Structure 1
Amino acid sequence: MSELPSVSRRLLLGGAVASGALAVGVGGGPAHAATAAEQAPRRRPGQKSMIGVPFDPHSTVRVGIIGLGNRGSGMSLGWAAVPGCTVTAVCDIRADRAKRTADRLVSRGEPRPAEYGGTADAYTRMLRRDDIDLVYIATPWEFHHEHGKAALLSGKHAVVELPVATELRHLWDLVDTSERTRRHLLLAENCSYGRNELAMLKMAHDGLFGEITNGHGGYQHDLRELLFSDTYYTDSWRRLWHTRSTASLYPMHGLAPIAAAMDINRGDRMTTLAATATAPKGLADYRARFVPRDHPSWKETYVNGDLVTCLIETDQGRVIRAEHDVSSPRPYSRINSLAGSRGILEDYTGPAPTGARIYLEPDHSGHSWRDFGAYRKDFDHWLWLKVGDDAANNGGHGGMDYVMQWRTVQSMRAGLVPDIDVYDSAAWCSAVPLSAASLARGGRPVEVPDFTRGAWRKPRAGLDSEPVDMPPVG
């Protein structure tokens, strides 16, 4: 996107509080008189839950894409590679990006998609088409709510990059819009389809960790060079978020797999969140050492902490620690650690192929870590066994992008219930505004809304799906 609207500090701080989804007591802590379910806005007449609602079967899934920067343009090739899926339209405020993406698809032997662009509302023209079933949204974060809601209102399903929205009122709006339109909105949480993450999920559900007590996930990725690049993030949109407020801006890649292993929204739910933040030193230090003094970033003041940690408690007494750090010098990690009464898994601790270590009773003793490789082989998710080779050839991030795309298309073509629904998407993304609200209160806990409106108590399937064949093409 070439033109970004001004975004005030209210977007996170004021927006979280003004949404009405946080209850704050007289003393400044969480109010215990009202439950999160009671705080939920009432459903309109005729509005019903989307839990357990399958897609209508599609012989072919026709995808329209909004946002064709690095992420959107790359993912367009993955969508087109999935059997029974075609990209019918592409859109970006910069028309040359739409043309470039269309050219790339044609060069791969795909039909040329319709091109939209040149104006901020070009996506609205694309959404009027009747040959789009699914809209994939990869625009800057501040546009995700607007674009996701518009896709639902146009009668299409939506897959939205992280986060689906940055304000609680907007998260509730997406939940309600999905329920009213009877269309699914899904977070494009590709890391939930990571090979280690899915194996960990199966192990947890098979009881190998015993009673799950805690988990640790997050997003630790040194983005300093890319954040100060003049070409990678258009108009520096991602760096500018660090000038607006103190919040955990992007913890979902680590939080979501831990939440899935704990059956969040499927027998347990997140109840409170308390956040801490270190001082904002990393970006200013990097700028001082590597960025010329005439660069526009020198007019910016960075306020977001380098490491923002969320401590989340659940109804069943479990604890999740979710971290976000993109401004410190460190190797990449999503942490991905799960522990229970009979053992623990810690990912990102060693060399390939798994980079993970494990300790389980009664298999292990002597207080010595063991390699995770044998367990992953035994608990490899059927999706990776079925499409892992294709994923290596067609998807980024180690293939999990393609696995997510393949599974989404399969679910739509076979008429299945989605693995990830709008309630999961809202809960996982609520860490963004809730962390801002907690930090504004000195780190005191704030309540996590119940986006399911009480339906979380009923166990149900999610990412722990049963093997299903992709319907034949043609």
Structure 2
Amino acid sequence: MMKLNRRHFLKTASLAAASFATSSFSATENSVPRPPSLGSSVMGLVVPKMETVRVGFIGVGQRGSGHVQHFCRLEGVEIVAICDTNPLVLDKSIEFVKQQGFKAPARHTGSERAYLELLSRKDIDMVIISTPWEWHAPMAIDTMESGKHAFVEVPLALTVEECWQIVNTAEKTQKNCMMMENVNYGRDELMVLNMVRQGVFGELLHGEAAYIHELRWQMKEINQKTGSWRTYWHTKRNGNLYPTHGLGPVSQYMNINRGDRFDYLTSMSSPALGRALYAQREFPEDHERNQLNYINGDINTSLIKTAKGRTIMVQHDTTTPRPYSRHNLIQGTNGVFAGFPNRIAIEKNGNGNFHQWDRDMAPWYDKYDHPLWQRMGQEAEKNGGHGGMDFLMLWRMVYCLRNGEALDQDVYDGAAWSMVNVLSEASVNNRSNSVNFPDFTRGGWKTGKPLGIIGA
């Protein structure tokens, strides 16, 4: 159990602040030595079964408050405590829990280190962290050091050094640290994973992943909500700021860290024009939003090469006026699936014409719906959260803890997927030259078991 003292808080705050200032280009696999392990691998980690999972929440703003609501609908959980620096959103979540007929959770607030008080409690098993990005790594590390399992919103970390610290802490404490990539629990993504495992696409060759989501409107969130802090990242980095929503599913299709791994990346960005133009149009000339220097390219495109020679294109665009897309494309020797809109073309055992897209997905759902979605899909859609994927992710996390099963995503996944943020900036800043991915598994990927298709 960690000590709640001023020295510890200053160390934690320094780590959070450093995530803004650390130069990503200097922190590549070639320049940062692989640190020695402080424990043993947590790949496939199974912890003792918990009859009741006792939960604490750090951050209950726009994202975290939704998690609180979902947990109120899960069996076998107890919401013990909630922490937030904003007393208004904190009290709103506490009141929601009470309205559902549960005991009021303990309330922790008052300063940025109030979360340490929550972590000092002995009646919490897992902690849900839904805070601004720069706090994810220090809070995850503190959570594991306090003897609790950490579940962190995306991205897991913002520098190579932070990722190694998180991995080492997980291995030392033998605690779970899962980055909560909810898109892995979408119906389409689960179905495609099932199809890949059954060999429908043949040997995999190439994937495409994206986060294309126009979010300029968040710039109008000045003093609170996501835009109040996320806007500034467009003035601090030029790369892919948010890679994991599209990349997580493609990584699972390709068994990244479980038989293959990311080897190196090259990246380039378009001009950064859209946010400055939006600020000129939507804000007074002397407004703070018009004084910022937006450097993040409106569109970033990165290419990843895996150890097995496969390729993955990853794109980021939260600025241009265009429809939402995650691409979600997987190409194999026997055919291809692509999302937004869903379509498929298969050479053998398909519709007989791979020169045209098959857009009728009903027969494919009937045949290949993932057993997890067959079991819980109706409940997930009923409870909502991005079409049900949020609820299903949280349900699955609790299910694994209660039944002594390994989680579907581990600390190595979160670290590898998050590194596209860091390495894309490094490549962009060096004329798109390639940069190497750290191997956070320390070679464990060679023998790691692919994520299986769980039974219904």
> TM class by shorter-chain length?
over 0.9
Alignment of 1:98-117 (within 5 A): 98-117=90-109
Partner of 2:395: 406
Structure 1 gaps, min length 5: 25-35, 350-355, 469-474
Secondary structure of the equivalent of 1:267? coil
Task: Read off the aligned partner of 1:98 and give its amino acid letter.
Answer: L
In the aligned structure 2, how far is the partner of 1:49 from the partner of 1:318? 26
Partner of 1:30: none
| C-alpha spacing 1:446/1:229, structure 2 compared with 1 (3 Å) | same
Partner of 2:35: 41
In the aligned structure 2, how far is the partner of 1:14 from the partner of 1:440? 14
CA contact (8 A) 2:16 2:138 kept: no
Count of residues in correspondence between the two structures: 441
Deviations 1:247-290 (A, max 9, x none): 21101000110010000011111100111100111111111222
| C-alpha spacing 1:8/1:102, structure 2 compared with 1 (3 Å) | closer
Report the alpha carbon displacement of residue 160 of structure 1 after superposing the two structures with TM.
0.3
CA contact (8 A) 1:228 1:239 kept: no
Secondary structure of the equivalent of 1:345? strand
- Tell me the TM-score normalized by structure 2: 0.93
Partner of 1:16: 24
Secondary structure of the equivalent of 1:62? strand
Partner of 2:374: 385
In the aligned structure 1, how far is the partner of 2:78 from the partner of 2:243? 31
Deviations 1:57-92 (A, max 9, x none): 100111111111100111111122111112111111
Alignment of 1:229-308 (within 5 A): 229-230=221-222, 233=225, 236-308=228-300
In the aligned structure 2, how far is the partner of 1:415 from the partner of 1:184? 12
Secondary structure of the equivalent of 1:430? helix
Partner of 2:7: none
Alignment of 1:363-378 (within 5 A): 363=350, 364-365=352-353, 367-371=355-359, 372-378=361-367
Partner of 1:69: 61
Report the alpha carbon displacement of residue 231 of structure 1 after superposing the two structures with TM.
5.8
Which of 417, 421, 425 in structure 2 is aligned with 1:428? Answer: 417
Secondary structure of the equivalent of 1:162? coil
Partner of 1:359: 345
Partner of 2:427: 438
In the aligned structure 2, how far is the partner of 1:112 from the partner of 1:9? 33
In the aligned structure 1, how far is the partner of 2:14 from the partner of 2:270? 26
CA contact (8 A) 1:264 1:270 kept: yes
Report the alpha carbon displacement of residue 294 of structure 1 after superposing the two structures with TM.
4.3
Alignment of 1:70-469 (within 5 A): 70-230=62-222, 233=225, 236-349=228-341, 356-362=342-348, 363=350, 364-365=352-353, 367-371=355-359, 372-462=361-451, 464-467=452-455
| C-alpha spacing 1:422/1:366, structure 2 compared with 1 (3 Å) | closer
Report the alpha carbon displacement of residue 228 of structure 1 after superposing the two structures with TM.
2.5
| C-alpha spacing 1:55/1:377, structure 2 compared with 1 (3 Å) | farther
CA contact (8 A) 1:55 1:411 kept: no
CA contact (8 A) 1:273 1:311 kept: yes
In the aligned structure 2, how far is the partner of 1:8 from the partner of 1:165? 10
Task: Read off the aligned partner of 1:167 and give its amino acid letter.
Answer: T
Secondary structure of the equivalent of 2:366? helix
Question: Identity over the aligned pairs, expressed in percent?
Answer: 38
Task: Read off the aligned partner of 1:222 and give its amino acid letter.
Answer: E
Secondary structure of the equivalent of 1:118? coil
In the aligned structure 2, how far is the partner of 1:314 from the partner of 1:297? 40
In the aligned structure 2, how far is the partner of 1:12 from the partner of 1:310? 22
In the aligned structure 1, how far is the partner of 2:363 from the partner of 2:226? 43
CA contact (8 A) 1:395 1:402 kept: yes
Task: Read off the aligned partner of 1:22 and give its amino acid letter.
Answer: E
Aligned-CA RMSD value: 2.0
